[in-house]
A and B are shown apart, each in its own frame.
Chain A
């Protein structure tokens, strides 16, 4: 088995998801190399312990098709038979393109995988984590999209030992690049997360959530329902189609706990849920459940801190 991990440069560093995949691949004793996509000139993403190819793209051009063409070549030249990437926006694009090239349907949202008799077996979490769905991939080249936080990230020393390739521009131009300001603790790495759902009733009540979060030095998240309603940006969505978080403490405020949401937070170490509805599914996965009106309880809580 020979693996290729597709990675990306985020904030000048190697994407956290790929560090998680490296640790898993090392545990399985699989030979691997990396290919990393980014716009930085000389990011510190190389290593003496694995081969790294840097595909430098231009920030002003949509080039993922061309990026996929380069990776296609690497897969063929290096006789790769397992391609792994974290489920990020650009890796989803790239893996999808390659899956067509190699006529091999990818497995998305993988939380674990193994090699049995030279075949890749994957595990998906379904129905809010109450069931594990196992698949065997029967392809010459297998493509896996891994959910972030599935494995503990490896701690490695990185240098500038890599091959660098400039990817030529695509037809579609990109402009008005906006970097979301990262204020305070981030969802992905905060020890405490305070999340809001429909039970907060109105967008104006999110100020209570923000106040609690700032007192606890916590990141703020939300359910798909409130992100769809425009209360919060997509980047703060926790759940199946949003982010996966595993903080020490997760406080779910006015969240019923739909499967879609549970997938993204059920592995938090300690879960406190506040909800009016005693039957809300969130209580099934909570360590401390408070049945009551979030809008009454939170102000008192904030005052007592």
Chain B
């Protein structure tokens, strides 16, 4: 079995995102999106069960590959990346187009992703990839059970949840918390250094997605409220009670 996991390198999420000409400014060094750790973890659990090969797929503008390295450190076998300045500010469809082309090259049976990235959070890429590849998309997987015969995926739905048996070929999106991502140990970190990262030229891919979203501008909003601030001296709850009465909640 071959499994591909799409992983995104993002700017350090602790720092507020800044924009340049409408595109997220991406520093030279980006990190692995935590959301992707769930997808990688699921792939690794399947690898342990089915002796699969796990390939990380990633795309973005040029830079260091710290995020991809972090994905390899968790235990993925290799990576295939497209790194091209023309991908700066790529919309979700272009992203999916590139990743589905990479998925074809990786010959993956299963393609696993997080539900949405932390920086762009369009939340449409897994489903778009499945459409490009004409596969079922098992979206919003929030629990996984691997038993001797099959893999059972529990999907989050608007009313609760439902289960499906994992098809042999499909795209899966995993919600945060769906599995418990592992932490790499020293040995894993060292081993990752010798793993293959294959760079695929953008020109080699069959890209059809158009750049149909044009940035207009960014407008600042005055949102600071300057509300009342009270330092608790043991009696601060009284301020809340007073407010609750004022708001006619009590």
Q: A103-B93, A179-B159 are in contact. Are A93 and B121 (CB under 8 A)?
A: no
- A-B CB contacts (within 8 Å), total count: 252
Let me know if A289 and B127 touch, CB within 8 A. Answer: no
- Closest residue of B by beta carbon distance from A140: B212
Other-chain residue from A175, A179, A241, A286 in contact with B160 (beta carbon distance below 8 A): A179
Query: Is B83 an interface residue when CB atoms closer than 8 A count as contact?
Result: no
Let me know if A130 and B223 touch, CB within 8 A: yes
The secondary structure that dominates the B interface is mixed
Across the interface, B131 reaches (CB within 8 A) one of A97, A171, A180, namely: A97
Q: Does A92 contact B (CB under 8 A)?
A: yes
B-side contacts of A107, CB under 8 Å: 213
- The answer on a CB contact under 8 Å between B136 and A103 is no
Residues from chain B with a CB closer than 8 A to the CB of A68 are 131
* Chain B residue with the shortest CB-CB distance to A192: B249
We find that the number of chain A residues with CB closer than 8 angstroms to chain B is 93
User: With a CB–CB cut-off of 8 A, which chain B residues contact A138?
Assistant: 212-214
- A266 contacts across to B, CB distance below 8 A: 223
Q: How far is the CB of A79 from chain B (nearest CB, A)?
A: 18
For chain B, the count of residues having a C-beta within 8 Å of the partner chain is 79
> Which B1-53 residues have C-beta < 8 A from chain A?
16-17, 19, 22
A-B contact pairs, 19 of them (CB 8 A): A65-B136, A68-B131, A89-B140, A97-B130, A99-B128, A100-B128, A104-B210, A105-B210, A105-B213, A108-B121, A121-B216, A134-B215, A228-B176, A249-B249, A285-B224, A287-B225, A289-B229, A289-B230, A301-B240
B residues with a Cβ closer than 8 A to A are 16-17, 19, 22, 91-94, 96, 115-116, 118, 121-128, 130-132, 136-140, 142, 154, 156-165, 167, 170, 175-177, 208-210, 212-221, 223-225, 227-232, 234, 236-241, 243-244, 247, 249-250
**A interface residues with partner B (beta carbon < 8 Å):** 8, 10-11, 62, 64-65, 68, 87-90, 92-93, 95-97, 99-101, 103-109, 121, 126-139, 145, 170-180, 191-192, 216, 224, 227-230, 234-235, 240-241, 248-249, 251, 259-260, 266, 270-272, 278, 283-293, 296-298, 300-301, 304-305
